[in-house]
């Protein structure tokens, strides 16, 4: 068992750090490349497996032969399931202890899994998640259940993205939001900054909502995801029974781009639009996407997200909202495999009382989801198809 620390100890990231923590201060320099971050991520990220489902986690501590893996609580919420950890070396270890840090929905969705092994595994360095500000580059790493692969057959993925907002008090601690591609099975996986430090735990994908002609509100796929900032874990360290000297912490600052640099090109304007969209400022998002498309007219992603902004407008301003069909169609023309664009366009057609077109798009979306191994999305598309056919 990893030894406990003084329950009265308090750890504050960025201001005062408990002296017992192992603090590694790096000198500011050039950010690591995506390949370098991937190498760091591969060594410290693990699979969390059970007969009930798949998840991911990150090694955050070591004491002797005992390792501690941080993950999200909903990955290990069943006390009767037998959980195991599979490391990057391919070795599988049975969980010896699970500490659930979440006891209610008002607390962060976090848990710690311990396992024993004589092997020498790398331990992640934790950054200061307060530095993961709007516009910061992040990388999500985990083991998605895609391509029909589940359990130990899953392969790791690195997904880059940008922080889009930092809300103060989202349910279950999901206060770090970003635009990055994630899949089922990546819950509990680490979110890294550009220095390869863990700044969050991924665990939530989100839908937006659009209104149909009948007045019903239906979910659309937005691509926004959320993580629990790592500072929330560090501030709960006294509840984990982890020795403070087993945690590696590096709160050194990282350079942030100036606002003028963020808005200087199509990518910056695209990010600006994503930020407005995540903050429910649809008109401002559309304006930014329009400027981005003037510089980069061949980006399916910009068209897709402008379509989302126009879809969301229909909820609050249905008479002023331009149709998003043109945007989703252009995204599909530029990327025929854009499954989410087919799905969202189907919902628009359904709202316009064009069930034949809606069904055709949902069939295409379902097939693409199947090919991509996105099992949850595939099942959802089939359920929506069945609903439309029965109406």
pLDDT at 43 over 60: yes
Which CATH number does the domain 22-206+223-249 belong to among 3.40.50.2300, 3.30.365.10, 3.40.50.2000, 2.40.10.120? 2.40.10.120
Summarize pLDDT for 333-364 with one digit per residue, the tens.
999 888 889 999 998 888 888 989 999 999 99
pTM passes above 0.75:
no
Summarize pLDDT for 255-298 with one digit per residue, the tens.
655 444 444 588 778 888 888 887 778 889 999 999 999 999 99
Listed by start position, the domains of the chain span 22-206+223-249, 259-383
Do domains 22-206+223-249 and 259-383 share one topology? The answer is: no
pLDDT bin (cut points 50, 70, 90) of residue 108 is: very high
Classify domain 259-383 by CATH number: 1.25.40.10
pLDDT computed for residue 315 by the predictor: 60
Higher pLDDT, 26 or 129: 129
pLDDT computed for residue 225 by the predictor: 87
For residues 332 and 327, give the distance between their C-alpha atoms in angstroms, rounded to a whole number: 9
Summarize pLDDT for 67-88 with one digit per residue, the tens.
999 999 999 988 888 899 999 9
């Amino acid at each position: 068992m990893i030894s406990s620390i003084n329950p009265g100890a308090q750890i504050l990231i960025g201001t005062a750090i408990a002296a017992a923590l192992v603090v590694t201060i790096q000198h500011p320099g050039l950010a690591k490349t995506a390949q370098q971050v991937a190498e760091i991520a591969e060594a410290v990220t693990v699979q969390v497996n059970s007969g009930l489902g798949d998840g991911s986690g990150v090694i955050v501590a070591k004491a002797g032969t005992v390792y501690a893996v941080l993950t999200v609580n909903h990955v290990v919420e069943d006390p009767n399931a037998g959980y195991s950890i599979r490391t990057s070396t391919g070795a599988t270890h049975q969980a010896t202890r699970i500490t659930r840090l979440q006891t209610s929905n008002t607390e962060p969705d976090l848990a710690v899994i311990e396992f024993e092994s004589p092997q020498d595994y790398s331990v992640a360095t934790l950054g200061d998640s307060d530095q993961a500000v709007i516009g910061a580059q992040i990388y999500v790493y985990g083991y998605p259940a895609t391509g029909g692969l589940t359990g130990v057959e899953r392969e790791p993925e690195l997904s880059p993205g940008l922080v889009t907002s930092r809300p103060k008090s989202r349910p279950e601690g999901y206060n770090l939001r970003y635009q990055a591609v994630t899949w089922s099975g990546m819950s509990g996986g680490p979110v890294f900054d550009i220095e390869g430090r863990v700044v969050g735990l991924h665990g939530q994908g989100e839908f937006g909502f659009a209104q149909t002609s009948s007045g019903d509100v239906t979910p659309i796929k937005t691509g926004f995801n959320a993580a629990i900032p790592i500072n929330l874990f560090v501030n709960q360290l006294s509840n984990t029974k982890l020795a403070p000297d087993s945690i590696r912490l590096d709160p050194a600052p990282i350079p942030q781009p100036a606002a003028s640099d963020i808005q200087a090109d199509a990518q910056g304007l695209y990010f600006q639009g994503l930020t407005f969209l995540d903050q429910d400022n649809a008109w401002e998002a559309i304006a930014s996407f329009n400027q981005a498309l003037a510089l980069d007219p061949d980006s399916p992603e910009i068209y897709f997200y402008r379509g989302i902004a126009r879809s969301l407008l229909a909820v609050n301003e249905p008479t002023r909202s331009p149709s998003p069909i043109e945007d989703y169609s252009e995204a599909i023309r530029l990327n025929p495999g854009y499954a989410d664009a087919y799905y969202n366009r189907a919902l628009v057609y359904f709202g316009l009382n064009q069930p034949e077109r809606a069904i055709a798009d949902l069939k295409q979306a379902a097939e693409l989801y199947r090919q991509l191994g996105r099992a949850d999305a595939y099942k959802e598309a089939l359920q929506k198809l069945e609903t439309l056919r029965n109406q």
